[in-house]
Amino acid sequence: MHDVPVWLWMVFAVTVLASLAVDLLAHRQAHVIGFREAAAWSGVWVGLAVLFGAVVFLVVGTRPGVEYTTAWLLEKSLSVDNLFVFALIFAYFKVPRAYQHRVLFLGVLGALVFRGVFLAAGVAVVSRFTAVLFVFAAILFYSTYKILNEEDNSFDPGRSIAVRLLRKVVPVRDEYAGTRFFVKEAGKRVATPLLAVVAAIEAADLVFAVDSVPAVLAVSSDAFIVYTSNAFAILGLRALYFLLAGLLDRFHYLSKGLALILSFIGVKLILQASHKLISPAVPEVPSWLSLSVIVIVLAVSIALSLLRPPPAELAGKLPPSDISTQDDSPEKH
């Protein structure tokens, strides 16, 4: 565990709350997020993450700074794969583009809470039962297998447990009502499809956590490092979606790169557990090497994707109602 001053925790909390407040104020009116606006906000979130990382380097130390940077970049790279699911959910529910930011904003709030709970539990378990690292490694290897075999393509938003539970608890109407989640019909309160979309997004994030939490715990077991890095990566997820959603099908090698990263992290976990439980002679993977591998793999995956366009059969991997082509007219819903 690193020696993190209380005031740095407070700075982090104030930064996150202030950023969310500014973001909510800037998007209080439902509107379509264009490429330039998304690029500007992406720059803001990346800038905040980098600035906070610099503070970690200066205040806590070089090693914690490297761990924070590695964990943030790892979560950021894993988040790109999540954008495919967001596009699928929006297409399935035919969410007007003007309403998508509202949904993702609430999704981010839920993700910050759920990740905090999962990461706190993960840190507590790892600190007491080192052998659980072998289980985490197995999860990452299985995730690698699923990515390489494209088993995640069968995701059906309408059949997610969260959406089915919602429909059992409250009636869900077919038409949208602006950005409202509930309306009254015949004197009864019913939910709009927008609430079902939020439920699907939150359920998807719970699934994403299965990969993200073990992966980030392989980088560091310090609660401050793992949560702050995850939080800043999650905060920028909305802007990243609007920035890249229309281009996701071009990065067709990225999933392979992510599979390689997850398998590397799995090996790192096995070595880490073996070093503690079996013999100190078993080498551990240093933080700087983890950061280097992630950067190189991501760079090569993106470069190959741009140099070698996807084959014709991969064109249209995203639903036709993806952000780049989706009907922008809320009145039709």
pLDDT in tens, the chain (333 residues): 678 899 999 999 999 999 889 888 877 777 778 878 888 888 999 999 999 999 999 999 999 999 999 999 998 888 876 787 888 888 888 888 888 888 888 888 888 998 889 999 988 998 888 899 899 899 889 888 887 886 555 556 666 777 888 888 888 888 888 888 889 887 888 988 888 898 888 888 887 788 788 989 889 889 999 999 999 999 988 888 888 766 666 777 888 888 899 899 999 999 988 988 898 888 988 888 888 998 999 899 889 888 887 665 444 444 444 444 344 444 444
Q: What is the per-residue burial (b if ≥16 Cβ within 10 Å, else e) of 156-185? A: ebeebebbeebeeeeebeeebbebebeeee
For residue 246, the model assigns a pLDDT of 62
For residue 318, the model assigns a pLDDT of 45
Domain map (residue ranges) of the chain: 6-332
Q: Are 194 and 179 in contact (CB under 8 A)?
A: yes
Closest CA to 242 of 107, 109, 101, 102: 101
For residue 331, the model assigns a pLDDT of 42
Helix (H, G, I), strand (E, B) or coil at 188: strand
Token pair recorded at residue 160: 């997610």
